[in-house]
């Protein structure tokens, strides 16, 4: 009973902290002005550009991440600080069934940067405003076991167990202005690809283009 009370208290506190720092009621204001002419869109060769394999992701995750947790009840005893993430002006977090919305600070900062840079790039390209959608975050050993029954990619060496890794879908984006012209999924994916390519080149992250899961598998490096 005491453990359950601690977990509930931890959840309430993290929710309050997240609400103060990243309110969904706010709207992200792009850091760039709309140029007179749209910036040319460069389509990244996804399979070639984002081909960092699991061992590469894993090494980075083990360097800065937490020690894997057996179950969600162990979150309060994590070996490193974890930041609660929720839908905010920079990104949306869809309902999670096999992971928890928790990241180490470096990964949380990277996710925010990805979301904001994506919206900045939309302005430069003269596209309507959208948000990226997060589909998977921190997994415990228990989560991995449950997911492995239906997802072959959920290996026992899941990088998601370290709180350093997120999956961002490239099939769906959250539209922010129903009155503005709709932008195609292919163009939105290309814009996100540009953002991830630049961050990867800066040494900020490793990225794998997942075809079956239709997502960018992103691990923070620092």
pLDDT by residue (tens digit) across 76-116? 999 999 999 999 999 999 999 999 999 999 999 999 999 99
DSSP per-residue string spanning 185-208: HHHHHHHHHHHHHHHHHTTSEEEE
- Of 148 and 147, more confident: 147
Whether residue 12 is predicted with pLDDT greater than 90 in this model: the reply is no
Strand partners, 165: 219
Residue 186 lies in a domain: yes
Q: How far are the Cα atoms of 76, 125, 150 from residue 27, in angstroms, in the given order? A: 31, 19, 37
DSSP state of 92: E
Residue 135 lies in a domain: yes
CA pair distance 10, 12, nearest whole angstrom: 6
Residue 28 lies in a domain: no
- 8-35 average pLDDT score: 58
Nearest to 49 by CA among 208, 205, 191, 186: 208
* Token pair of 214 as six digits: 């239709």
Q: 155: pLDDT confidence band, cut at 50, 70 and 90?
A: low
Residue 73 lies in a domain: yes
Whether residue 148 is predicted with pLDDT greater than 50 in this model: the reply is yes
Strand partners, 175: 130
The count of domains in the chain is 1
Residue 8 lies in a domain: yes
- Span 168-222, pLDDT tens digits: 999 999 999 999 999 999 999 999 999 999 999 999 999 999 999 999 999 999 8
- 66-70 average pLDDT score: 95
- 18-33 average pLDDT score: 64
- Span 161-177, pLDDT tens digits: 999 999 999 999 999 99
CA pair distance 195, 117, nearest whole angstrom: 7
Residue 29 lies in a domain: no
Residue 45 lies in a domain: yes
Report the mean per-residue pLDDT for the chain. Answer: 88
Q: 156: pLDDT confidence band, cut at 50, 70 and 90?
A: low
Q: Helices then strands (H, E): number in the chain?
A: 6, 8
The 10 Å Cβ neighbour count of residue 19 is 14
% of the chain exceeding 70 in pLDDT: 85
Domain span at residue 146? 2-23+34-220
Residue 96 lies in a domain: yes
61: CATH: 3.30.1380
| Helix (H) or strand (E) run with residue 103 in it | strand 102-103
């Amino acid at each position: 009973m005491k453990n359950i009370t601690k977990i509930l208290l931890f959840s309430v506190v993290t929710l309050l902290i997240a609400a103060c720092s990243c309110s969904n009621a706010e709207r992200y204001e792009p850091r760039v002005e709309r140029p007179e002419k749209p910036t040319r869109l460069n389509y990244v060769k996804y399979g070639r550009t984002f081909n960092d394999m699991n061992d590469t992701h894993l090494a980075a995750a083990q360097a800065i991440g937490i020690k894997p947790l057996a179950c969600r009840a162990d979150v309060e005893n994590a070996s490193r600080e974890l930041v609660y993430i929720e839908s905010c002006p920079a990104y949306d977090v869809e309902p999670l069934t096999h992971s928890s919305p928790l990241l180490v600070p470096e990964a949380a900062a990277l996710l925010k940067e990805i979301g904001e840079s994506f919206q900045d790039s939309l302005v430069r390209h003269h596209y309507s405003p959208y948000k990226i959608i997060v589909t998977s975050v921190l997994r415990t050993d228990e989560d991995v076991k449950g997911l492995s029954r239906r997802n072959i990619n959920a290996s026992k060496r899941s990088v998601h167990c370290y709180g350093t890794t997120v999956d961002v879908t490239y099939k769906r984006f959250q539209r922010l202005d129903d009155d503005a012209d709709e932008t195609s999924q292919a163009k939105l994916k290309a814009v996100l690809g540009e953002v991830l390519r630049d961050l990867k080149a800066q040494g900020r992250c490793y990225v794998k283009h997942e075809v079956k899961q239709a997502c960018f598998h992103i691990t923070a490096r620092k």
